[in-house]
Structure 1
Amino acid sequence: MAILELISVAGLGVLMTLLIVNLGNNREQQRQLDSAFYRLVAAQGGKVSLIQLSALAGVSPEVAQKYLDHQVQVFLAFPEIDDEGNTFYQFPKLRLPPRLEREW
């Protein structure tokens, strides 16, 4: 009986460790996506493509697409297709006060 309790406690410890590591990875991934997204919005006048966000944030296209879908709803952005057939999402331009613009 003591062995079963020991195995249960050890298994619970492993599960808690995996959960904590996963939460840390998700926060880091979210931070990378946020940073890449706002850099692209600022640098490109609000135009962001899936491949640009995925590459700059270093995440899979699936993760980047979920992030973009959420941002589209938050900022009421809309998709555009350029002359070459590439899809971009047009977000509002990022206009920072001059003092913050220098820091950005």
Structure 2
Amino acid sequence: MVLIELVFAIALGVFVVLLLVNSMQREQQQQRLRNAFYQQLGAGNGYISLIQLVAAAKVDPELARQFLEHQAQVLTATPEVDADGDTFYRFPKLRPSDAAR
């Protein structure tokens, strides 16, 4: 009985550690996405594509797509397609007076 309790306690401990590690990894990915998003937004003068965000943040494309679509919705970005058929999001430009507020 003691052996079963010990195995259960160890398994529970491992599970908790794995949950914490997973949570920390997700938070790191979100932070990389945020940093890459604003860096690419500035570099692209308000334009950003999914592939640019994926490459800059080095995260899973599906995670980046969800992040980018959420930002596009919240910040009222307009999707645009270039001559090659690539989709970009055009975000409202940040004006100097907006940054001072």
Is TM-score (shorter-chain normalized) higher than 0.5?
Answer: yes
Q: Does 1:47 align with 2:47?
A: yes
TM-score (structure 1 length as normaliser): 0.87
Identical columns (%)? 47
TM-score by length of 2: 0.90
Distance 1:56 1:96, change over 3 A: farther
Runs of 4+ in 1 over 4 A off after TM superposition: none
**Contact 1:49/1:89, CA 8 A, preserved across alignment:** yes
Give me the whole-angstrom Cα distance separating, in 2, the residues matched to 1:4 and 1:96.
65
C-alpha RMSD of the superposition: 1.6
- In 2, the alpha carbon distance for the partners of 1:95 and 1:55 equals 27
Cross-structure match for 1:71: 71
Structure 2: distance between partners of 1:36 and 1:64: 10
Q: What is the deviation of 1:74?
A: 1.1
Tell me the amino acid that sits aligned with residue 15 of structure 1.
Answer: F
Is the contact made by 1:75 and 1:91 (CA closer than 8 Å) also made in structure 2? yes
Residue 85 of structure 2 is aligned to residue 85 of structure 1: yes
Distance 1:25 1:56 in 2: 17
| Pairwise CA distance, 1:25 | 0.6
Alpha-carbon separation, structure 2, partners of 1:13 and 1:4? 14
1:4-23 alignment runs, 5 A limit: 4-23=4-23
Alignment of 1:24-63 (within 5 A): 24-63=24-63
Counterpart residue type for residue 2 of structure 2: A
Which runs of no fewer than 5 residues in structure 1 stay unpaired? Answer: none
Q: How many residues in Structure 1 have an aligned counterpart in Structure 2?
A: 99
